[in-house]
Amino acid sequence: MNSTTTSHPTGAVLEVRDLARTYGEGAGAVTALDGVDLAFAPGTFTAVMGPSGSGKSTFLSCAAGLEPPTAGRVLVDGHDITDWDENDRTRLRRERIGFVFQAFHLMPYLTAEQNVGLPLRLAGRRPDRARVRELLERVGLADRGGHLPGSLSGGQQQRVAIARALVTEPAVVLADEPTGALDSGTARGILTLLRDSVDALDQTIVMVTHDPVAASYADTVVFLVDGRVAGRMDRPTADAVAGQLAHLSDLVVGGAR
């Protein structure tokens, strides 16, 4: 692995510099990201918000090394992974990044315990049973370890997915609309769980969402519009975030940065 460790003065565990991503070429080209600079410090919970098509998901894909950016750099845990090949990026991803998806993405033929241990298996390591149990207990599923996803509710499946995201003790957990497929009551439980892993485990979380309530659980909200950072809000409340979202077009015109 070409581990180019750069000194990162910001101390960020995840950083993107002048990130740009364009799909297609010529007249039909679509710019999804257009010069995004963001850095996420350890132990912080950040929500990335914006209307549909604002580049939220593309940002997450690029930050995770799933797709290469058109321009700019991506630094994960001090490694500049921008020019790494697919295999190296995959290895870094499974060791240093935890993922929580909107649709859970549990393997239907593995039990909850086995799903939690999967990232370690993929990395060629044998999961420590005690550690897996401890994580399932942390997400409130201590007695469901032997169940297959098909016999768990949506909220329970997402809890398993969170335990799975934490199993490698990643530098950062990336969450893509983690409550998008859940009712609001279940969603609150999931968001509280994410909040707890920041407060209790000093985990770093970056969450893409369009839900002001979900965003209010974060320390900071970053607004994206048309592929650019269009504002930032610390200690957000749901009402303030909703108000800000309503004025996003003004922010773009005003050139917030």
Partner 1 sequence: MTGRMTGLAWRSLRHRATASVATFVAVLLGTALMGSFAALAASASGPVSTADHDTLTTMGTVVGAWGAIIVLSAVVSTVGITVTQREVEIGLLRTVGATPGQASRLVRAETLLVAALGSALGAGLAWLGGAALLTLLRNTGTVADSVPYSPGLAPLATAALVVLVSLLGSGFAARRATRGSASITPSEGRPGTGRLPWWRVAAAVALFGYSAAMAVVTITVTAHDDDPYSAMATSGQLGILVAVGLGCLAPWLLRVLSPATRPALGRGAAGYLAAYNARRRSRLLSGVLAPVIVLTASGISVFMIVGTDDRTRPAGFEDDARTINLLNNVVVGMMVVFAAVVVVNTFAAVVAHRRSELRQLWLLGATPHQVEASVLAEARGVAAIGVVLGALASLVAVIPFGVARHEGVVPDGQLWLPPLVMAAAAALTLLAARSAVRRAHLPAGSLQ
Residues engaged in binding partner 1 (CB under 8 A): 57-58, 60-61, 64, 66-68, 86-87, 90-91, 93-95, 99, 101, 105, 107-110, 114, 118-119, 121-124, 148-151, 164, 176
* Least distance (Å) between residue 70 CB and partner 1: 12
C-beta of 96 vs 138, nearer to partner 1: 96
- Three-state secondary structure readout of 144-166: HCCCCHHHCCHHHHHHHHHHHHH
* Least distance (Å) between residue 191 CB and partner 1: 20
Beta bridge partners of 175: 100, 207
Q: How far apart are CA 104 and CA 181, in angstroms?
A: 9
C-beta of 17 vs 91, nearer to partner 1: 91
Q: What number of other Cβ atoms are within 10 A of residue 31's Cβ? A: 17
Specify the residue for token string 């032997």. Answer: 146
C-beta of 60 vs 139, nearer to partner 1: 60
C-beta of 159 vs 231, nearer to partner 1: 159
Q: Which residues, in sequence order, are CB contacts of 143 under 8 Å at separation 6+?
A: none
Q: How far apart are the first and last CA of the chain?
A: 36
* Least distance (Å) between residue 82 CB and partner 1: 13
* Least distance (Å) between residue 58 CB and partner 1: 7
Long-range contacts of 103-106 (CB under 8 A, 24+ apart): 103/181, 104/149, 104/154, 104/157, 104/158, 104/160, 104/161, 104/181, 105/161, 106/149, 106/157, 106/160, 106/161, 106/164
C-beta of 99 vs 244, nearer to partner 1: 99
* Least distance (Å) between residue 110 CB and partner 1: 6
C-beta of 80 vs 251, nearer to partner 1: 80
Amino acid 123 reads A
Q: What number of other Cβ atoms are within 10 A of residue 43's Cβ? A: 14
**Vertex 75, ends 165 and 69: CA angle to 5°?**
95
* Least distance (Å) between residue 152 CB and partner 1: 9
* Least distance (Å) between residue 119 CB and partner 1: 5
C-beta of 59 vs 217, nearer to partner 1: 59
